[in-house]
Amino acid sequence: MAEFEVCPLDELPPGTMRLVPAGTLTVGVFNCGGSLLAIEDRCSHDDGPLAEGDWDPEACVVVCPRHGSRFDLETGIPMTLPAFEPVATFPVTVRDGVVFVEVEA
């Protein structure tokens, strides 16, 4: 696993998201009510951007901006069609006040 710095924790308050280049991937890191969750910025339906869509910080769900599939940020599992395959999720840690995401190299 490779580790990528996201930002200082105080720059990612509840209800916010950051897009992070992580090797060959882009990852969306979300703060859902204090829970830090990371998901690949790629809809499994058509490989379009995912983390850039609207999201519900209370339900921890992101909505694909292209076709409206809703994905659970904790599991990466789609909750609505047209997507039916999950997308990758990644561990998030905080050390010394800085947020990091771990992505398979």
Model confidence over 26-54: pLDDT tens digits? 999 999 999 999 999 999 998 889 998 89
User: Between the CA atoms of 99, 49, 56 and 82, what dihedral angle is there, to the nearest 10 degrees?
Assistant: -140
Q: Is residue 103 part of a domain?
A: no
Cis peptide before 78 (omega within 30 of 0): no
Of 77, 84, 82, the C-alpha closest to 62 is: 77
Q: Report yes or no: 78 and 69 within 8 Å, Cβ to Cβ.
A: yes
Which domain CATH number covers 88?
2.102.10.10
pLDDT confidence tier of residue 91, bands split at 50, 70 and 90: very high
Domain that holds residue 76: 2-98
Q: Is residue 104 part of a domain?
A: no
| 55 has a pLDDT exceeding 70 | yes
Total of domains in the chain:
1
Q: For position 105, what pLDDT does the model report? A: 66
Q: Report yes or no: 50 and 42 within 8 Å, Cβ to Cβ.
A: yes
